[in-house]
Structure 1
Amino acid sequence: MATPLFNPDLIDRAVNDHLPVGFLLRPLEITDYDKGFLTALSHLTVVGEIDKAAFVDRFAYLKAHAHEYFTIVIEDLKTQRIAAAGTVLVERKFIRNLGLVGHIEDIVVHENYRGLQFGRYIIDALKSIGKNVGCYKIILDCSEKNVPFYVKCGFERKEVEMVWYIPKAKL
């Protein structure tokens, strides 16, 4: 059995009870490189060329910081492929009595698995992780078209997202 990125007990077991038979929601594992984790992420954004050694190195870093990084996947057990994924990052604040804030990132469902409510299950699991590690709130940024989905997941619209992309150096 592969080593999980973090303690799976942080995930509410009820989430897995709602998954279709043959699927498992769990923490990311090193073996997920070969199960198409990066391919699943490519259905969200640009991933780049990441070889297995670089993946293992990043996994080791995240594992060493398992109190801050919680990446989960839904695996299709029949095909041993990653169907969906998401992450909650835990930020340590000075405000709110040294409070913790969860930041949900990189929610993706592989196009072959859309329509099975996997996005909802990923969000529910990430919310349970945030709650179980002591976050006082969980926030996320999304595109306008995804607002209705996140409202269905219990989030409310608040304030405005801003971004500044660092200019690339000219060669």
Structure 2
Amino acid sequence: MTEAPLPEGFHFRKLQITDKTDYLELLSHLTTVTPMTDEEWNSRFEEINSLPHVYYICLVIETTTNRIASAASIFFERKFIHNRGICGHIEEVVTHPDFRKKGLGKAVITHLLNMAHETYGCYKVLLSCKEAVKPFYESCGMEHRSQTMMKYWL
């Protein structure tokens, strides 16, 4: 799979512990974000990063201002099926409104798809989305295969 190019002035990097304010602000453009203390952030960050081969948060950074422009996360589920294969799950895909329509969302999705396939050898990657954004994910090479059933407690 070919990488979707990032526009000039942007680069990928992994989430860092110092990204708390900017990352939570970006996520607020996707869903409700409950305020958290520095201790709560640090604890969750350390927990996520103690599992480096399981969970990865990819950021797109605007180089001039060092702002987080876009982000998505992926986690890897080890299976007993498909020859003990690995299934990727992409979540929390968001681009800040100031940076939309620049191809950043497509770039971060294709970056994670490439990582899933080439680095982790995933046999599939799953992503749930609303009907309205299905065409975007299809343009990233994903296809509609089944219905997603959910149970929410929030």
Number of the residue aligned with 1:78: 64
> 1:13: how far off?
10
The counterpart of 2:42, out of the listed 56, 64, 69, is 56
Change over 3 Å in CA distance of 1:75–1:13 after alignment to 2: farther
Aligned length: 153
Provide the C-alpha distance between the structure 1 equivalents of 2:66 and 2:133, rounded to a whole number of angstroms. Answer: 28
Q: Where does residue 130 of structure 2 map in the other structure?
A: 143
The 1-side partners of 2:2 and 2:23 are apart by 22
Counterpart Cα distance in 2 of 1:93 and 1:38: 31
Q: Output the TM-score relative to the length of structure 2.
A: 0.92
Match of 1:106 in 2: 92
Distance in 1, Cα, partners of 2:144 & 2:136: 12
Shift of 1:77: 2.1
Q: Point out where structure 2 has 5 or more consecutive residues left out of the alignment.
A: none
Q: Residue deviations 1:48-87, cap 9 Å, x none?
A: 1022222121111111101110110011122221111001
In the alignment, which of 109, 115, 123 is matched to residue 123 of structure 1? 109
1:152 and 2:128 correspond: no
The 5-angstrom pairing of residues 9-28 of structure 1 reads 18-28=5-15
Q: In angstroms, what is the RMSD of aligned CA positions?
A: 1.7
Q: Percent identity?
A: 37
Give unpaired runs (5+ residues) of structure 1.
Answer: 1-11
- Secondary structure of the 1:62 match is helix
Q: With a CA cutoff of 8 Å and minimum separation of 6, indicate the structure with the bigger relative contact order.
A: 2
**Distance in 1 between the 2:107 and 2:149 partners?**
27
